[in-house]
Amino acid sequence: MDDADRQVLRRCRVRLVSELQVAPLWDVLLSRELFTPGMIEDIQAGSGSRPDQARQLVIDLETRGRQALPLFISCLEDTGQTSLASLLRTSSQAAKRDPKAIRPLDPIPVVLGPVDLKREELRIAKQYPSKPIPGKLTSEVLGPEDIGPGGLSDVRAQRELRGNADVAYVLNADPCGYCLIINNVTFSLGLSTRLGSNVDCEKLTHRFRLLHFSVEVKCNLTSKQMVQALVELARRDHGALDCCVVVILSHGCEASHRQFPGAIYGTDGCPVPVERIVNIFNGTSCPSLGGKPKLFFIQACGGEQKDPGFEVASPSFEDRAPGSNPEPDAAPFQDNPGNCDQPDAISSLPTPSDIFVSYSTFPGFVSWRDPNSGSWYIETLDRVFEQWAYSDDLQSLLLRVANAVSEKGIYKQIPGCFNFLRKKLFFKT
């Protein structure tokens, strides 16, 4: 879809979400081959209400090729939604006459600074940054003398943060929440068996139970079964719980995306986009998890590139165990060039809060797994959680994981994350 049509959709999105009747559209969208049956099933399964389905349909429409907008307008006319069809057609014609008419609104920068400080107070604040001003909020920075690495002051400081609901999520419930582990080992359509994945699964089942989660394991799910399992989890009542964890162990690939990169394969060889998985748990689809942390740990390749690394002064001595032969969790990039112009990596909606997605590898690169000891990422994650979860917050834990994994192997790997948490997260130990 070209940029002018995309901007037309975005300018009209509020009215489309408000008025669009999606039920009569499904058959027409299929007959025009604008959407596939799987895409429609995903929209219906992940978005319960009509406005949510309308919103997701409009978002997905942006990826359906250059003729998506005129085809969608004709679908609206075929289903009697002539006012919306007229709105889109008029806006599209106006855009062709004057492209500036539909350009994105330029954001206005906002400068944040001291509020209601008098001239003398501003002088004091500049001259003595650490000196508190009576009646004003101040920040405090702890230096090395306050927090020693691994020392008593470090533990004490972390404990104080853990108990402060203003800066850390409260995980008092027992169990803290549900932890769903999807472990895909055997596949069809040429994808290799993921030897060592059961080792990963057993480690994480044990680890998250120790962290006071109610753990459920589902093995060898097709793409549709994966979505169904995730939707079923999102629709539970999480009101008495404080957190939710989803772990997916599978093959993966690159995928067109707007928010979260990558896709995860079901055992049928069909990919499920990571952003689709994450959005099942947004505030609308899963209101009982609103304001609570939702954590996703993805052990899968982000693509097919193998990273040989670069030479540094202190090379790693932890290349690989004797006799081991690491395998990648990679599969080819999946996209339909006939129906999609290009990936759109810019989210057009506010990013959901309280979401944390941890990837085993950098987007586009393979993720290594040992057939005997399991994947580098999960093996390291389990070890770090065992040693440091009592004191470190989630981000600090995963920095330790990233550092340790980066030192492994002849080919290299670096885990990363998308963090939209509002507070620190300390596991209950």
How far is Cα 295 from Cα 293, in angstroms, rounded to an integer?
6
Kindly write down the DSSP assignment for every residue of 46-110, as one continuous string: H--SHHHHHHHHHHHHTTS-TTHHHHHHHHHHHTT-HHHHHHHHHHHHHHHH-GGGGSPPPPPP-
Map residue 397 onto helix, strand or coil: helix
Q: Cα 243 to the chain's mean position, in Å?
A: 16
Number of alpha carbons in the 13 Å side-chain half-sphere of residue 238 = 27
Map residue 274 onto helix, strand or coil: helix
Examine the residue annotation and report whether 251 is marked as an active-site residue of this protein: yes
Catalytic residue among 176, 201, 301, 417: 301
Q: Which amino acid does the sequence have at 117? A: L
- Which helix (H) or strand (E) covers residue 295, if one does? strand 294-299
Catalytic residue among 212, 238, 251, 257: 251
Q: Which amino acid does the sequence have at 104? A: P
Contact 191, 251 (CB under 8 A): yes
Contact 301, 330 (CB under 8 A): yes
Alpha-carbon distances, residue 243 vs 59, 196, 396 (angstroms): 28, 28, 18
Contact 153, 408 (CB under 8 A): no
Catalytic residues: 251, 301
